[in-house]
């Protein structure tokens, strides 16, 4: 009887811990989202340009996404290849995510901007 009660208590505590971790992950995601949004709005208002605010928004979103992709990638690659200690692999993933996300964000924004201009000219030509 004691074993069943102990197992139930352990499962309850594990479930509570998972719930707390999930809530903290959602709070962290909300803080990151609000930070990205407020930064891009403030820059857009300061520069008086919607395009500059959207550019910062896009670069920051790509940056965060790249970090979330590169950190596990570098960690698991390091587990297979045994290059560095785990902390070094995580830091390397963060740095690669920031640099790669920044470069990809700038390149993809300019491609997106050129695509919008191209589609605008096609729309104007076809509508006349």
Residue 128 has pLDDT above 70, yes or no: no
| Measured distance CA(115)–CA(120) in Å, rounded | 8
Q: Lowest mean pLDDT of 14-23, 93-102, 118-127, name the range.
A: 118-127
* Structure confidence at residue 20 (pLDDT): 94
For 13-47, how does the pLDDT look when each residue is reduced to its tens digit (9 = 90+)? 999 999 999 999 999 989 988 998 898 999 989 98
pLDDT at 117 over 70: yes
Mean pLDDT, to the nearest integer, of 75-100? Answer: 88
Asked if pLDDT for residue 72 goes beyond 80, the answer is yes
Question: Would you say residue 7 has pLDDT above 80?
Answer: yes
The predicted pLDDT at position 111 comes to: 94
């Amino acid at each position: 009887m004691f074993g069943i009660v102990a197992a139930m208590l352990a499962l309850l505590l594990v479930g509570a811990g998972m719930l707390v971790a999930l809530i903290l992950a959602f709070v962290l995601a909300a803080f990151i989202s609000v930070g990205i949004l407020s930064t891009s709005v403030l820059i857009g208002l300061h520069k008086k340009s919607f395009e500059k605010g959207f550019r910062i928004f896009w670069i920051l979103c790509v940056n965060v996404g790249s970090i979330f992709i590169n950190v596990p990638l570098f960690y698991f690659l390091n587990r297979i290849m045994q290059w560095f200690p785990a902390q070094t692999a995580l830091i390397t993933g963060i740095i690669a995510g920031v640099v790669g996300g920044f470069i990809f964000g700038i390149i993809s924004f300019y491609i997106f901007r050129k695509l919008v201009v191209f589609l605008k000219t096609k729309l104007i030509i076809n509508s006349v």
